[in-house]
Structure 1
Amino acid sequence: MVPRLQEKCEKYQKHFSELLEIGCKIVDVPENEPPCLLHQDELKNFCAHCTYRTDELQTHLYGCHEAHRWNGRYIYYCPLGLTFVAASISNSSGALAGGLVLGPFVMGDVDDVLVDLPNQEMAWSVSQLSEFSTQKVQHISEILSVVTAHISGVEHQKLQNLLYDQEKILKEIYVAKDYYEDMDTQSADMLLQFEKDLRIAVLRGEKNSALQMLNEMLAHIYVYSNFDISAIKARLLELLVILSRATIEAGADPTETFRLSENFILQIESYVDVDQLAFWISDIVRRFIVQAFDLAQVKHSDVVFKITNYIKKNCAEKLTLDSLAKEVYLSKSYLSSIFKQETGMSLTAYITKVRVEKSKKMLLEDGVSLAIISSQCGFKDQSYFTKVFKKETGVSPKRFRNNYFGDTSNKSFED
């Protein structure tokens, strides 16, 4: 991160930290050096004292990458189940330069977080964290993203990036025109070689060389296609397939990469001139290279915490694998796989567990009928509720209730 951006980040880091009384981190993503976390107030740096299996840098690097991909801001969970908000910062070429990260804090009720805490050694520390409602977290993320957009100078940089690409591509077009003037070189051999070299650069994560090759390749595509927009789009779609496969080979999540590819295929139809296409394909190459970062484990934890929270809040509703997968933009099979990997149980088993635990609490409420409990806990009817509850706990709902209140109160709970 250049000194100008870092200075602004440090200024707003202090403002946010003091205003909200939570930690604020600066993630630095230099162009030619490994990412790092810049200095921060150790007293407010909860992550530095966390004893759970948390890679602090990887967790928040993931948040910044996702923020850069999703309109500048992203709300996510660390492996401990605590909430963070990241807002991305772009450099002069529009690429990710870093970000500001707020947290950790508890979104919702701290008791819900403590129940599912994977490391009970951290229970007291977690109980001391700030609690924010979901609505307030949304407000915080909006304001944070506006601040980081101001730090980045987003609109000005987008224009700079476009003009920079235009200038470089124009130079490469002159070179390509000279190349294709010779009738002996009027073949696609050079394009095929560029495709191979670009694929290798993506596999190696060599961002700068990939973007340089892209400018040369675009010039050759334009000249070879005789600047026909339909022909150019066809060549770019072919390039898109090559890039997506290379990204998967480099270790990216196939489901996520395919989803990005599908969106890009829909987007390409909206562009009507070669300058728009140049800017668009440059951004795609950056995104594919980001996909090759080894952030899978952190992403899995984030997805699992989002799904478990959603299930707890909506357990009275009909929950299907399809609807849950749509909540986190993953395929059904991939979501099932990572959920089982992270929790050791299937999604169906977890939904049942949540519903049974909620029903236990309701059974201890005086005078609530089994019919109402079964309905409010997401069971299709009272009979099914009784069957599932007995299978999970070893006793029927009535026996569970009687064991708590005593047999003398049995009549008051008859349905």
Structure 2
Amino acid sequence: MSEKKVVVRLIAAVILLAVCYFGFHGHLDSGSAHTFTVTPLRRDSSIESTSYNDEARRRLSSLPDPKSVQAVDRDSRANCPGPIRDAMGVYPSGDPRGVGLEDVVLLTASNDGHRSLLFNWMYYARHHGLKFGVVAMDEKLYQRLEPDGSSVIRSPHVITGLGEYGYGTGEFNTITCSKFEIVLDIMQACDVDVVFSDVDNVFIQDPFAHDLGSLVRLDYHDYVYVYNRPWDKTCFSEGHFPRDSGNTGFHYLSRKSELLRDIIKQTIERCADPENTKDDQLLFWEVMKERKKERKNVNWRYCSRDDGYYSVSQHEKGELNLCCLDPRHYHTGTSWYRFETEEQVQAIRDSKDVVVYHANFVSTVESKRNKLDFFGGWNEKAASVDDDDGH
């Protein structure tokens, strides 16, 4: 072998080692591209099982240790992407409404196939004066948003050629599972609490000026979420563990709970299983319930209207502190599904009590639009501002 070839091969080996070492340590690029570089959960549906398993193992080995999240240098946040830093505080700098929310980021994620829902979501968030970060789930959406200076970063799981995805499909599960990767990465790099919202979960009123903001500002709860049940039902059964799974399409996650971060990491691990057929929501609450069962003698605290709902309990904080948002104000798409009659749905809309409406339990953009429109959460002009026909 010639001396020149030896040198070339040595250089290639050094480059490969550098890529392996720095691949995750620079996982949130704070440069102009604002790109996550974590190995994706799955690049496309054609990857064979062996290749997929290799990718999953590499990705899982690079996930942040839950114990390390609080070790971030909060003054520099050097690895935090610019758009996320800009979105911190929820409200513009100097706005008194932002007091107590300085280390909170509002985040959403979408692919280009759902851009009309995204643009509609952004319209209502901006209407209430909120700052937010957007995670582009595919390159096409990123290229649409980035030139306009939107607060956009790329997802670690970029999928090309994906349009509308239906509940229960492999693509749906892959994308929903990747949301937890995004949240955990941002917690790690930016040392922030995250309020995550799906794009079909629209703010009819400002949730940070309502129950959600009050609960977050308490700096007491580790996890605050929405309940997939009728508006007149409580989330907890006699103050005990949630009677059913919460909805991961809108929730607050505190970076301070090592247990919560570990539950998220376990959820991601199960998502990465090539045999997995469940979405993020089912897996997250599956892990949650298992951890609770394992630690039956450990105190988990649940908020209650009986103790003032917004009041910090006089007892010491539990190992995990959960709170469920009032379904009367934080309503899900159970409407027109199985829980409520048309008369009840009409009464809910007329009450003007809805703060946030999530158009779930339907899969197409058109169906979601119709639900949102009914509750006053759809702006056609905003939603179509960047369609392919130029309208």
Structure (1/2) with the larger helix percentage: 1
Coarse TM-score class (shorter-chain normalised): under 0.3
TM-score (norm 2): 0.24
TM-score (norm 1): 0.23
Larger radius of gyration: 1
Bigger relative CO (Cα 8 Å, ≥ 6 apart): 2
